[in-house]
Structure 1
Amino acid sequence: MRDWQRELGLEPHGEGGFFRRIYTGAHEVATARGPRPAATAIHYLLDEARPSGLLHRNRSDILHFLIDGGPLEYVTVDPAGALTRTVLGPDAERFLLVPGGWWKASRLTGGARHGLVAEVVTPGFDYADHEFAPRTVLEEFPHLAADLRPFVRT
């Protein structure tokens, strides 16, 4: 197995896993929260040391492309409270769009030792547009509490 963390210079990510920004678009677009690059991209890795990410949402759309490993399970929740599970893997989907405003989390599944994805964010990522799920999300969506609890900070 390749050492993607070392090879790509990935650092620990606050939501879990490892990452490095690999692209920031030169053009800016206006948003309600100020100008943003038209697009940004990162490499994001989950491995046995950091096998899952915390539930979070962004204001921008995020495209996820599986590069290596997997399967990875993505759990998404739309603003109305509908939960969807999507598996990215060699024998499953290799691409996922998570619309802005949706909660999402990911984890290794099916015995996977690692999963490397590229994420493209449009308009580009800015920490001001990012939110970790508070514990109250379990009360907001009580019908999903058992599904979401593993991805919410205690």
Structure 2
Amino acid sequence: MKHFSILVCSFIIYISGCSLQGNATDEELKIPNGYIIIDHHKAKLQTGGFHLERKVGLETEVVTTDSASPNQIAETLEPIKVAPNSTLAFKTDIKESNITAIQWNDKEPEKEVKLEDNEFIAPVEQGEYIYEIISRWNNNEVSYTIVVKVE
């Protein structure tokens, strides 16, 4: 009976360990949130397309989505109002991600915006500006969109 109890306990510990490991890899496929921070106010960015990978045993599981372009997504967003020359800071739930910002016009990408410590200065000229924020880490990538209205 003692051997049977040890066998049952060992089996339960083994199953528990496997299920915990499965949960850890599931978390890797969650789409991280992206945020813009302006004057200590934090707002969530709209997620666009993404490419996420995770290791499952010896295999790699990949999830890739396509979405509307940032200028199309922007049509559905409420602009965030900022003053000219405001500092716009970006962050994601992934601390070690590499962030890129691209300014769009109403048809296509216009230019890459230079970031310093994941921040840049809003334009001086009044108007609405569409930005695609791309977060990359390991073999993963997520695109976010935001509309900024300089007033």
What TM-score, normalized by structure 1, do the two folds share?
0.32
Determine which structure has the larger helix proportion and give its number.
2
Larger radius of gyration: 2
